[in-house]
Chain A
Amino acid sequence: MKQKSDVHQGTLGLMVLKTLDVLGPLHGYGIARRIEQISGDLLAVNQGTLYPLLLKLEHEGAIASDWGASENNRRARFYRLTRAGHKLLGAETREWAQTAAIIARFFEVKAEDLS
């Protein structure tokens, strides 16, 4: 069995933003499910930790939330990306891409390239 890997909060936040960007407004459970599915069950995230994070993102103005009705017609809180959230997502995506590119280049380097 493969070891599940931990995620740190910044990464999780980015996942939340991306999920909302792709799927539109979702409630907490929906977001959790989606992250689980996409990461291929490789991430060990206690779903509960999502809620403080959502509150933080909301405080930062990246997402907004409203009460609405869920699939089973219960009251649920739906989160959506705000304009600031869009911008943030864009910026963070670029940053990630850059970091990934740099790391990738390091992995490609062989000993003879450095001499």
Chain B
Amino acid sequence: MRFLRRFLARANNFATGRQSDRRLREEMDEHLALQTEENLRAGMSPSEARRHALLKFGAVAPVREDYHAEQGLPFVETLLQDLRYALRLLVKSPGFAAITILTMALGIGATTAIFSVVDATLLHPLSYPRPDQLVRIEDDLPGVGAEDVGLSVPEWKDFQRSGIFQYVSVEGSGSVNLTGSSQPTRIAFKPVAPSYFAVLGVKPELGRTFDPNDQTHGFNLEVVITDGLWKRAFGGDPHILGKSLRLDNDVYRVVGVMPPSFRDQGRTTEERNTELWAAAGFAAAPTPSPVRNNRFVPGAIARLGSGFTVAAAQSRLDALVASLQKQFPADYPVQSAWRVRLVPLKESVVGNVRQSLLLLLGAVGLVLLIGYVNVANLLLARASARGREMALRQALGAGRKRLVRQLLTESLLLSLLGGLAGLVILYSTKSLLLKLIPESLPRLNDISVSWNVLLFALGVSVVAGTVFGLAPALQAGRLNLTHTLKAEGRGSTGTGEQARTRRLLVVVEFALSLVLMIAAGLLLRSFYDLFKVQLGFNPQNVMAVRTWLPVPNDPTTDIYGTAAQEAPFIRELVRRSAALPGVMEVAVGSLAAVPLNHTRNQGRLILEDRDGRGSDFPLVNESSVTPEYFHLVGIPLLRGRLFTDQDNENMPHVAVVNQAFVRTWFPNQNPLGKRFKLNRTAAAWDTVVGVIADARTESLEDPAIPLIYRCTYQRTDKELAIFVRGHLDPSRIPDQARELVQSINPELPVFGAMTLPGVVSGSLSQRRFSMEMVLLFALTALLLAGLGIYGTISYLVSERTHEIGIRLALGASRRKIMRMILRQGLDLAIAGAALGLIGAFIVARLMSGLLYGVAPYDPLTFVGVTLVLTAVALAACYIPARRATKVDPMIALRED
């Protein structure tokens, strides 16, 4: 209280500038007068009396100083004084100021930019209450090498009753045709359990979400929609609640609208863009019968009971799984080794980008560090140029602490100005930078310059300003006064220690750049290898457009319910599409047939004549295509035959498989004529009639994944893609295709037009992003390191001008001088390279998961990059070395 009062009084004095010494002077005068009188009374002579009074009063200067300090806020005053001085100095040397501030701005700006991405994705991946309680439940069958196989409805109910979770919600994913608005649209839709929103713990913006205790077996015909869909399709109608809408020909009622900030927590971009949720009990049509061994539910999320950690819940769950296995031995055969895994929801959302983002953060951190090392170097150079000033100040009585403080204030000012400039740059280029980020990044829309980010930028500025200002500041405080002051006329006073520090900084800088360059080199090679990879198919001039056939809840109303009903539509589609302008070839297939689009359709493979024990069969990727497909995408036939138009709905089912499939399931056998089923419940066997070459249609990284193609005319796939090859106008195809499809059935949506080359490059987007960023950082680092080594060598040369002059005068050849200087640079480079290679080995090991086709210790990259960096170092030394050879011994010697 007293302290506060005193502080306020002082702050008030400080703020109002009331700091006169008049009061003190008057009081002192009065004091001395009284004392003098007293002394006179005691019998002293007037001069004696005055002298004694003064003696008794003590030294006036410290009293005045103390008084002054008490009057205001000396800390702030000194700070302001230092700041003013620092600003004046900066204005006096604008070049130095510009370079340091720019370096810091780039460093802090780039680091903050990457941090803002990390902050949104890794640090705050879920915008739901208590995100630590949210988990995803995944079933694994390690016995048959299958992960995340989905779960069955009875298992879901078991989990719900287990007491481990507050709520468990199953979730599917898909899309529905929304009809009734101006254009039939296809929207991402998610069938969920009624407890879905209760699991996430979110409230709607309008209306309500589902009742978590709803016991309806099938769909309860209620939907919750996003704010976006509400505004787009319903014009933000305030009376939307209770209105009905038609989804795949079924009528639903809107019960709630989610707030704009709400985003579904899906695993894929598609799922995260869900716009409509419908609740179901998953125990009646359209879902299959809810028996224990039918794992048709793709996934489940749950909120842990309060007080449960993920580990504790997992051990309780393991016990439950063990008892269920005992209770239902037929459904859980021992050899499949069923187990249930809890994955923190956060993990499942950002798991696959963590490594890339951390790599980027690390890379940008290194750039920042290198930038600061450069700045520290500049500060050191300046400190040595100011050595005389510092020595003079000390000689005049400035304390060491006071000097260090002043120099720290200067470097902090620079750093903060740099941080500010960095934020300004970041803010003004924000929209541009966001465009660089691949769309597949989770929570892309939540990236912003938040308080967290600002705090981070401030923290980085302060820490960096302090740490890198400290070295020069401490050195300035340790000056040898006599030496420095005696070195009359010479501005610079490069002590041995300073030169050592500068060399050390350059070595560190060099090492850091080497690490970054090697990381970038490895990423570049990975990317290039992937880019140059033989696709095995030809995406040139191919486009795909998607459509979706509705699936009503009541199967009897489905007009495309059987292959016989769907095949005529497909045939008509193929026939009419051929008439599109520029089109030379047409095919239709399931969505999974679109190469590299990350949609898989998997079935459990059951081979005829083979004993598949129990209920667990391996999962195999499957798609359906019309006969023209293989020629259109350029995948060659190796054995047997492709589909023909005769493989129609009335003929026995046929299949084409790839080489990888043959290698896996029919090694050293003739696959032609073999029969299999996908899913036990399938009525008919499929016969293998042909084998095609392997192509990287599923993943660029993996050259051979077993694949099954079946004939679209014999299937009832609902998610379709129309493939066209020819001289197409990509901007017009979507409309042309929509007209065409709707001329057959006006209720069908047409969407998702893509060019295959676009899909191929899109599947590289995340890699390209991290590669480009790291490369950019590495080049920046290279530039900074080059500048650093240039600066240091120049400085050393100017230090040694006198010495070089003597050497020249004594007959040293200019070549020798040149070699001497280059040698000095090379020594630094070698030391840096040695240090950097150690770091690079560690970093390469850490990032091995991000590499493709190149070993983490790729000798070519390591050696190549080291050579490049050394060459840059030599080039940077060449300029000062040349200057050294131009020294005129006469002038150099006379200078002293």
Residues on the B chain within 8 Å of A28, using CB = 27, 30-31
User: Among A16-24, A50-58, A103-111, which stretch is in contact with chain B?
Assistant: A50-58
Residues on the B chain within 8 Å of A33, using CB = 38
CA distance A52 to B64 in the complex (A): 8
User: Among B66-74, B273-281, B374-382, B869-877, which stretch is in contact with chain A?
Assistant: B66-74
Residues on the B chain within 8 Å of A70, using CB = 30, 34
Interface status of A34 (Cβ within 8 A of chain B) = no
User: Pick the contact of B27 from A46, A51, A58, A60 — CB < 8 Å?
Assistant: A51
Contacts A48-B58, A75-B26, A76-B27; A29 near B67 (Cβ below 8 A) = no
Is the beta-carbon distance between B63 and A75 smaller than 8 angstroms?
no
Contacts A29-B31, A72-B34, A74-B33; A51 near B67 (Cβ below 8 A) = yes
Q: 1/0 contact trace for A55-87 toward B, CB 8 Å?
A: 110111110000000111011110000000000
CA distance A58 to B37 in the complex (A): 28
User: Pick the contact of A55 from B33, B62, B67 — CB < 8 Å?
Assistant: B67
Residues on the B chain within 8 Å of A58, using CB = 9
Is the beta-carbon distance between B6 and A75 smaller than 8 angstroms?
no
Interface status of B56 (Cβ within 8 A of chain A) = yes
Identify the closest chain A residue to B33 (Cβ).
A74
User: Which secondary structure characterizes the binding site on chain A?
Assistant: helix
Is the beta-carbon distance between A55 and B70 smaller than 8 angstroms?
yes
Is the beta-carbon distance between B6 and A48 smaller than 8 angstroms?
no
Contacts A47-B57, A48-B57, A77-B23; A59 near B10 (Cβ below 8 A) = yes
Contacts A48-B57, A52-B63, A59-B9; A29 near B70 (Cβ below 8 A) = no
CA distance A72 to B37 in the complex (A): 10
Minimum CB–CB distance from A45 to chain B (whole Å) comes to: 8
CA distance A88 to B67 in the complex (A): 22
Identify the closest chain B residue to A48 (Cβ).
B63
Is the beta-carbon distance between B5 and A59 smaller than 8 angstroms?
yes
Interface size on A, residues (CB 8 A): 26
Interface status of A49 (Cβ within 8 A of chain B) = yes
Is the beta-carbon distance between B63 and A76 smaller than 8 angstroms?
no
Residues on the B chain within 8 Å of A75, using CB = 26, 30
A-contacting residues, B4-20, CB 8 Å: 5-6, 9-10
Residues on the A chain within 8 Å of B59, using CB = 46, 48
Is the beta-carbon distance between B34 and A52 smaller than 8 angstroms?
no
Interface status of B533 (Cβ within 8 A of chain A) = no
Residues on the B chain within 8 Å of A29, using CB = 30-31, 34-35
Identify the closest chain A residue to B71 (Cβ).
A55
User: Pick the contact of B24 from A51, A56, A76 — CB < 8 Å?
Assistant: A51
Residues on the B chain within 8 Å of A60, using CB = 2-3, 5-6
Minimum CB–CB distance from A68 to chain B (whole Å) comes to: 11
Identify the closest chain A residue to B31 (Cβ).
A29
Interface status of A89 (Cβ within 8 A of chain B) = no
User: Pick the contact of B33 from A56, A72, A77 — CB < 8 Å?
Assistant: A72
Is the beta-carbon distance between B6 and A51 smaller than 8 angstroms?
no
B-contacting residues, A29-44, CB 8 Å: 29, 32-33
Q: 1/0 contact trace for B155-191 toward A, CB 8 Å?
A: 0000000000000000000000000000000000000
Is the beta-carbon distance between B56 and A49 smaller than 8 angstroms?
no
Interface status of B820 (Cβ within 8 A of chain A) = no
Minimum CB–CB distance from B497 to chain A (whole Å) comes to: 41
CA distance A59 to B27 in the complex (A): 17
Identify the closest chain B residue to A27 (Cβ).
B30
Minimum CB–CB distance from B77 to chain A (whole Å) comes to: 16
A-contacting residues, B393-438, CB 8 Å: none
Residues on the A chain within 8 Å of B27, using CB = 27-28, 51, 76-77
Interface status of B312 (Cβ within 8 A of chain A) = no
CA distance A76 to B56 in the complex (A): 19
Is the beta-carbon distance between A47 and B66 smaller than 8 angstroms?
no
Identify the closest chain B residue to A57 (Cβ).
B6
CA distance A41 to B262 in the complex (A): 80
Minimum CB–CB distance from A38 to chain B (whole Å) comes to: 17
Q: From A51, A61, A75, name the one whose CB has the most chain B CB atoms within 10 angstroms.
A: A51
Is the beta-carbon distance between B58 and A77 smaller than 8 angstroms?
no
Minimum CB–CB distance from B846 to chain A (whole Å) comes to: 58
CA distance A68 to B452 in the complex (A): 57
CA distance A29 to B28 in the complex (A): 9
Identify the closest chain A residue to B61 (Cβ).
A48
CA distance A51 to B34 in the complex (A): 15
Residues on the A chain within 8 Å of B683, using CB = none
Contacts A27-B30, A52-B63, A59-B70; A47 near B37 (Cβ below 8 A) = no
Interface status of B60 (Cβ within 8 A of chain A) = yes
Q: From A32, A56, A74, name the one whose CB has the most chain B CB atoms within 10 angstroms.
A: A56
CA distance A51 to B23 in the complex (A): 10
Is the beta-carbon distance between A48 and B30 smaller than 8 angstroms?
no
Contacts A29-B34, A72-B33; A49 near B2 (Cβ below 8 A) = no
Residues on the B chain within 8 Å of A59, using CB = 5-6, 9-10, 70
User: Pick the contact of A52 from B6, B33, B38, B70 — CB < 8 Å?
Assistant: B70
User: Pick the contact of B28 from A46, A51, A71 — CB < 8 Å?
Assistant: A51
Q: 1/0 contact trace for B61-101 toward A, CB 8 Å?
A: 01100110111000000000000000000000000000000
Identify the closest chain A residue to B63 (Cβ).
A48
Minimum CB–CB distance from B727 to chain A (whole Å) comes to: 87
CA distance A30 to B56 in the complex (A): 14
Residues on the A chain within 8 Å of B28, using CB = 48, 51
Is the beta-carbon distance between A46 and B26 smaller than 8 angstroms?
no
CA distance A60 to B35 in the complex (A): 28
Residues on the B chain within 8 Å of A61, using CB = 2, 5
Residues on the A chain within 8 Å of B9, using CB = 58-59
User: Pick the contact of A48 from B2, B5, B60 — CB < 8 Å?
Assistant: B60
Residues on the B chain within 8 Å of A76, using CB = 27, 30
Residues on the B chain within 8 Å of A52, using CB = 63, 66-67, 69-70
Identify the closest chain A residue to B7 (Cβ).
A59
CA distance A49 to B56 in the complex (A): 11
CA distance A55 to B67 in the complex (A): 7
Q: 1/0 contact trace for B839-882 toward A, CB 8 Å?
A: 00000000000000000000000000000000000000000000
Q: From B5, B38, B57, name the one whose CB has the most chain A CB atoms within 10 angstroms.
A: B57
Minimum CB–CB distance from B870 to chain A (whole Å) comes to: 63
Minimum CB–CB distance from A37 to chain B (whole Å) comes to: 12
User: Pick the contact of A77 from B10, B26, B38, B66 — CB < 8 Å?
Assistant: B26
CA distance A60 to B70 in the complex (A): 11
Residues on the A chain within 8 Å of B71, using CB = 55
Residues on the A chain within 8 Å of B57, using CB = 46-48
Minimum CB–CB distance from B59 to chain A (whole Å) comes to: 7
CA distance A33 to B10 in the complex (A): 28
CA distance A59 to B33 in the complex (A): 26
Contacts A59-B9, A60-B6, A77-B23; A49 near B30 (Cβ below 8 A) = no
Identify the closest chain B residue to A46 (Cβ).
B58
Beyond A29-B30, A48-B58, 5 extra complex contacts between A and B, CB < 8 Å = A28-B30, A33-B38, A51-B63, A52-B67, A56-B6
20 A-B Cβ contacts within 8 A? A27-B27, A46-B57, A46-B63, A47-B56, A47-B58, A48-B28, A48-B60, A49-B63, A51-B28, A52-B63, A52-B67, A52-B69, A52-B70, A56-B6, A59-B5, A59-B6, A60-B2, A71-B34, A75-B26, A88-B2
Chain A contact residues, CB within 8 Å of chain B: 27-29, 32-33, 46-49, 51-52, 55-56, 58-62, 70-72, 74-77, 88
The 3 A-B pairs with the shortest beta carbon distances in the complex, nearest first, are A46-B58, A48-B63, A52-B66
